[in-house]
């Protein structure tokens, strides 16, 4: 049990005894929250239950705190319990107990920090899923760091986590990609063809066309004026996915499942089944030549198109089918989507669609991460020095390193805009938090290596010697790890971002 949970239990039991003794009126007790005080002199933990009880008990929070505190039973973890205005019960950890935690941490080794919250629930975490029409960019890097780290934390919290990448290999974007690629491919054979107006302008498209020419020769050419061959689309997408996988490896990210969007549209597949389910529930209407999801009936501002008047499904329809597959076919108990800021408006209608499918929307969490601005000191960096185009994630990793990328991307909350200072990320000084952590690790590793060379065995060290305030502060800091893991569980932290 986490020490903060143990303290909460002690407070609940003390409040119950205070009621039995007549020191508190017989009121229903609200949830007890235990937090870290803002000031060190107020102790390690503080319970605010007296503030919540004051109005119902018709007593001052301070008097309630005194009544509860006197009924708290001793614990070897607690050295001192004090009451502070306006009505907090403060707890100071015992130095002796803190010292013993070092052995407990060593025994748990890499499992230290794991907490049994998830109970093995199957949880799917889908993040980034950038369309396979170009290289990953810096903004994708932030989503990768958030998603992959959250997956690690949730696994430590006892969930059976599956990382998934949705491959958007169906729809207009990959068709536009194929049209752009085919135009460049034809140009390599002397044909004067225009690049599609909505085509992808990056130089990588030229390089991809050159690869196709080298590998396929003229095999993919069709008579002038004809549409690109289907195999060009598939080969091009496959090559982009290979590049994306390479970028992911450079960031230290590995997915468990690569899910093809095309699979949603197979005969009798998720798209047909989800649409039929919505029809049965009266959530589909036909008007203006299109098929609509009547989300306004669920409290949304407007209805949303599922199938355009051209007969092609919208991205929203695809997402509904995808979540039908996640919840109703594959049986995930919880799903977390990590989306970029451009999907903010999509959140409420996705929640409504999940509810319409008969799934408790509380089982779906959506995290929205904001944009990233690259800087070199005071200067905003907009284009790559190498290509004069958008800066790719690979370029960023090559310049500052994967560890620095992940650290900086995680340094600010997902819902806040962030500035990424390239020069700071490369500095070898205490101003660079990544370098500071790496330097500290190197020093610790050096000390342990030196101890080994001297034949010093610290396995049975005298923990009672850990009395310096800095040593005890370090132990306190180590004990925060399981609290952080506990705080990021879907059962304890509301990280949904509504539109």
pLDDT digits (tens, 9 = 90+) for 390-440: 889 999 999 999 999 999 999 999 999 999 999 999 998 889 999 999 999
pTM: 0.88
Supply the pLDDT for residue 495: 42
How many angstroms separate the CA atoms of 268 and 286, rounded?
21
| H-state helical runs in 157-192 | 172-187
| Pair type for strands 334-340 and 364-369 | parallel
Q: Please, are residues 94 and 466 in contact by the beta-carbon 8 Å criterion?
A: no
Q: What is the mean pLDDT of the chain?
A: 93
How confident is the model over 349-390, as pLDDT tens digits?
999 999 999 999 999 999 999 999 999 998 998 876 666 678
Residue 114 lies in a domain: no
In angstroms, rounded to a whole number, what is the distance separating the alpha carbons of residues 361 and 109?
37
pLDDT value, residue 140: 95
> Which pLDDT score, from 0 to 100, does residue 295 have?
87
Secondary structure string (H, E, C) spanning 405-421? HHHHHHCCCCCCCEEEE
Number of domains composing the chain:
1
Per-residue pLDDT at 497 exceeds 50: no
Higher pLDDT, 491 or 115: 115
* Strand partners of residue 304: 293
Q: What is the pLDDT of residue 458?
A: 80
Quick: pLDDT tens for 254-294: 999 999 999 999 999 999 999 999 999 999 999 989 999 99
Is the model's pLDDT at 1 over the cut of 80?
A: no
Span 206-235, mean pLDDT? 96
- Residue 84 covered by a domain: yes
Query: Do the domain assignments include residue 426?
Result: no
280 lies in some domain: no
Q: What is the pLDDT, as a whole number, of residue 352? A: 94
CA–CA separation, 442 and 225 (whole Å): 63
- For residues 159 and 420, is the Cβ–Cβ distance under 8 A? no
Which CATH number belongs to the domain containing residue 79 in this structure? 3.30.1360.70
In the chain, how many H helices and how many E strands? 17, 15
pLDDT value at position 84? 95
pLDDT, tens digit (0-9, with 9 covering 90-100), for 172-218: 899 999 999 999 999 999 999 999 989 998 899 999 999 999 999 99
Confidence band of 491 (pLDDT split at 50, 70, 90): low
Q: Is the pLDDT of residue 496 over 80?
A: no
Range of the domain at 7: 3-93
C-beta of residue 136 within 8 angstroms of C-beta of residue 130: yes
Residue 452 pLDDT greater than 50, yes or no: yes
Q: Would residue 54 count as lying in a domain?
A: yes
Which run of H or E residues covers position 304?
strand 304-307
pLDDT (0 to 100) of residue 238: 96
Within-domain flag for 61: yes
pLDDT in tens, 300-314: 888 999 999 999 999
For the stretch 323-358, pLDDT in tens is: 999 999 999 999 999 999 999 989 999 999 999 999
Tell me, what's the pLDDT at 460?
80
Q: Is the pLDDT of residue 45 over 70?
A: yes
Percent of all residues in the chain with a pLDDT value above 70, rounded to a whole number: 97
pLDDT mean over 75-81? 96
Identify the sign of the CA torsion 375, 381, 384, 390: positive
For the chain, percent of residues with pLDDT exceeding 90: 86
Q: 489: pLDDT confidence band, cut at 50, 70 and 90?
A: low
DSSP 118-130: STT-EEEEEE---
Question: Residue 287: inside a domain, yes or no?
Answer: no
Q: Is the pLDDT of residue 105 over 90?
A: yes
> Does 220 map to a domain?
no
pLDDT at 81: 97
């Amino acid at each position: 049990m986490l020490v903060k949970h143990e303290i909460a239990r002690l407070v609940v039991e003390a409040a119950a005894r205070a009621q039995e003794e007549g020191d508190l009126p017989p009121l229903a007790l609200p949830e007890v929250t235990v937090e870290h005080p803002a000031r060190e002199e107020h102790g390690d933990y503080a319970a605010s239950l007296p503030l919540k009880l004051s109005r119902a008990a018709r007593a001052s929070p301070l008097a309630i705190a005194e009544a509860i505190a006197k009924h708290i039973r001793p614990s070897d973890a607690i050295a001192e319990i004090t009451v502070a205005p306006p009505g907090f019960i403060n707890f100071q950890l015992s130095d002796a107990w803190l010292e013993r935690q070092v052995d407990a941490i060593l025994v748990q080794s890499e499992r230290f920090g794991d907490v049994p919250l998830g109970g093995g629930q199957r949880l799917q975490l889908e993040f980034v899923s950038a369309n396979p029409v170009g290289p990953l960019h810096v903004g994708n890097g932030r989503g990768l760091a958030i998603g992959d780290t959250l997956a690690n934390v949730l696994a430590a919290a006892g969930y059976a986590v599956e990382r998934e990448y949705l491959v958007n290999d169906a729809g207009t974007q990959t068709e536009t990609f194929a049209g752009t690629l085919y135009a460049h491919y034809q140009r390599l054979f002397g044909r004067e063809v225009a690049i599609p107006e909505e085509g992808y302008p990056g130089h990588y498209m030229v390089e991809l066309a050159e690869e196709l020419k080298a590998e396929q020769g003229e095999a993919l050419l069709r008579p002038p004026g004809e549409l690109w061959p289907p195999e060009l689309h598939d080969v091009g997408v496959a090559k982009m996915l290979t590049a994306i996988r390479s970028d992911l490896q450079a960031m230290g990210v590995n997915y468990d499942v690569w899910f093809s969007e095309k699979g949603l549209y197979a005969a009798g597949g998720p798209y047909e089944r989800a649409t039929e389910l919505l029809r049965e529930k009266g959530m589909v209407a036909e008007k203006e030549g299109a098929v609509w999801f009547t989300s306004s009936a669920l409290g949304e501002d407007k209805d949303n198109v599922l199938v355009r008047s051209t007969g092609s499904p919208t991205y929203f329809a695809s997402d509904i089918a995808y979540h039908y597959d996640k919840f109703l076919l594959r049986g995930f108990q919880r799903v977390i989507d990590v989306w970029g800021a451009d999907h903010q408006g999509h959140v409420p209608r996705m929640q409504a669609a999940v509810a319409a499918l008969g799934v408790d929307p509380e089982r779906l969490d959506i995290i929205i991460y904001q944009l990233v601005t690259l800087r070199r000191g005071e200067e905003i960096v907009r284009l790559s020095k190498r290509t004069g185009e958008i800066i790719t994630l690979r370029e960023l990793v090559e310049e500052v390193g994967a560890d620095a990328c992940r650290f900086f991307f995680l340094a600010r909350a997902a819902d806040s805009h962030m500035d990424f200072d390239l020069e700071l990320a490369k500095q070898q000084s205490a101003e660079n938090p990544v370098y500071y952590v790496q330097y500290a690790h190197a020093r610790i590793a050096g000390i342990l290596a030196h101890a080994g060379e001297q034949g010093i065995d610290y396995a049975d060290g005298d923990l009672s010697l850990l009395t310096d305030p800095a040593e005890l502060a370090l132990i306190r800091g180590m004990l925060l790890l399981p609290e952080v893991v506990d705080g990021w569980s879907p059962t304890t932290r509301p990280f949904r971002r509504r539109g």
